[in-house]
Amino acid sequence: MSDILKRICAAFTGAKSNAKNERVSKTPDAPIASAPEEASAPDARPSEFAPSTPDETTRISRPEPANLDAPPSTADGDENELDAYDYELPERLIAQFPLQKRELAKMLVVDRKTQKIEHRLCCDIVEYLNPEDVLILNDTKVLPARLIGSRARTGGRWEGLFLQYDPRGFWEIMSKTRGYLQPGERLTLMDSHGSGLTRELEVVAHTEQKTLVVRPIFKEGEDSFSFLDQIGWVPLPPYIRSGRMTPADREDYQTVYAKEPGAVAAPTAGLHFTKELLEQIKGIGTAVCSVTLHVGAGTFKPIVTAKLSDHHMHSEYATISEEVVRTIEERKARGGRVVAVGTTSVRTLESASNARPDGSIDSTGLNDFRLRPFSGQTDLFIRPPYRFKTVDAIFTNFHLPKSTLVILVRTFGGDELIKRAYEEAIAEDYRFYSYGDAMLIL
């Protein structure tokens, strides 16, 4: 039995045997990302549950979390100060919609060797790839994880965000409503397709992390994914139209190669790729391979510590197959490069490159481990003085200030060079964040 299943079953049992207003705790050895308390404001918008940064939920039935090390506090000066990763962005540069032809978005090309910056289009990435290279995509699929409805007993407004499930049908969700939800109470959900149909969730228990365990009321033959497909809304981040989706977002906020359901946020660098562009890349001989990292709400939790060394990264499920590892080794032996699409692909590759035999991960990168097949939890926080072991180039969007994502990019590209690149992107009116333009760091 998986750890998540044990926790939810324990919560379910506790809800039936304890007093109705008693909170049920999860086991302390494997916490899930924390969530906000139920709020008293009745007019909370669904955007409050959206991730707060772009890029790249968590797969629910997953292996036991690895016991990961925090990197040592060896970064000196500004590199370890959160404020050093701040920058000002005009609000008008935050993209609210994708381009009709997203492969025609701008692409800022940053060459670490020459320190030069070029202005191109995303479709031009073919010109920067070699036949010996391998392009790595994250094939996670975004779930329609936002839930909107009301409390069946009171009619009060309710909103939530699906986090994870177990095979027996229980869900863990973030919840926001007025008052306290009692075990046994039902929530009525609005159909996101506008059909007027409603579905229900039954509250099972509260957790110490202030999330809810609920039981969806399934129809015969239905599972969690088909239930979500009917009633779930696209979990847009709040900087995109305050989280309000349009029907087009069902397709726009999904990569064309999405395959494995499990994310509450898109690996947004991949949104620039069309099937035709990927065929062009394969046509020049470049290998195109997939890894999976299911991005959870915790990915976008803001850093609240002044020093990076004091921040503990959330944990996410990632996997890379033996076949992909073999392709990377073969291509590298021929002088090829590993070009990672998105920070999620980077974290998957680097986690698999720093995994110890027991599944734990050396978060410094300062070891002689080699890339190997990996399937498990990673809380790898890439920050100075991390040493990259597998990734040679990154194709990525522009990220929020003071986020773990912008820290990763500056660690890889060089602090001063990437700061200059961001300044130039702002000066040239590049579009930022999930639906925005991209950067190729060579």
In this model, does residue 387 exceed pLDDT 50?
A: yes
- H/E stretch holding 204 reads strand 198-206
Domain boundaries, the chain: 3-29+145-231, 77-142+246-441
Residues 62-83 have a mean pLDDT of: 54
Q: Can you give the pLDDT at residue 45?
A: 30
66 neighbors 378 (Cβ within 8 angstroms): yes
Identical fold for domains 3-29+145-231 and 77-142+246-441, yes or no, is no
pLDDT tens digit sequence for 313-356 = 888 899 999 999 999 999 999 999 999 999 999 999 999 999 98
CA quadruple 440, 68, 291, 409: dihedral, nearest 10: -10
Residues 40 and 186: their CA atoms lie apart, in Å, by 18
pLDDT tens digit sequence for 244-262 = 999 999 999 999 999 999 9
Phi-psi region of 152 (alpha: psi -120 to 50; beta: other; left: phi over 0): alpha
Pick one of 3.40.50.720, 3.30.465.10, 3.40.1780.10, 3.40.50.2000 as the CATH number of 77-142+246-441.
Answer: 3.40.1780.10
Q: Among 33-47, 76-90, 378-392, 394-408, which stretch is predicted with the lowest mean pLDDT? A: 33-47
In this model, does residue 9 exceed pLDDT 60?
A: no
pLDDT tens digit sequence for 97-138 = 999 999 999 999 999 999 999 999 999 999 999 999 999 999
Peptide bond into 385 cis (omega under 30): yes
> By CB neighbour count within 10 A (0-12 exposed, 13-18 middle, 19+ buried), where does 219 fall?
exposed
Percent of the chain with pLDDT over 70: 82
Q: Can you give the pLDDT at residue 191?
A: 82
pLDDT tens digit sequence for 15-68 = 444 433 333 333 222 222 333 333 322 222 333 344 433 333 333 333 333 333
pLDDT tens digit sequence for 163-208 = 988 888 899 999 988 889 999 999 999 888 776 778 999 999 998 8
CATH 2.40.10.240 for domain 3-29+145-231? yes
E strand spans, 313-406: 316-320, 338-341, 374-378, 393-397
* φ/ψ of residue 209, rounded to 5: -80, 5
Higher pLDDT, 405 or 30: 405
Q: How does DSSP classify residue 64? A: P
Q: What is the mean pLDDT of the chain?
A: 84
CB atoms within 10 A of CB 184: 12
pTM score > 0.85 for this model? no
pLDDT tens digit sequence for 290-317 = 999 998 877 667 889 999 999 988 888 9
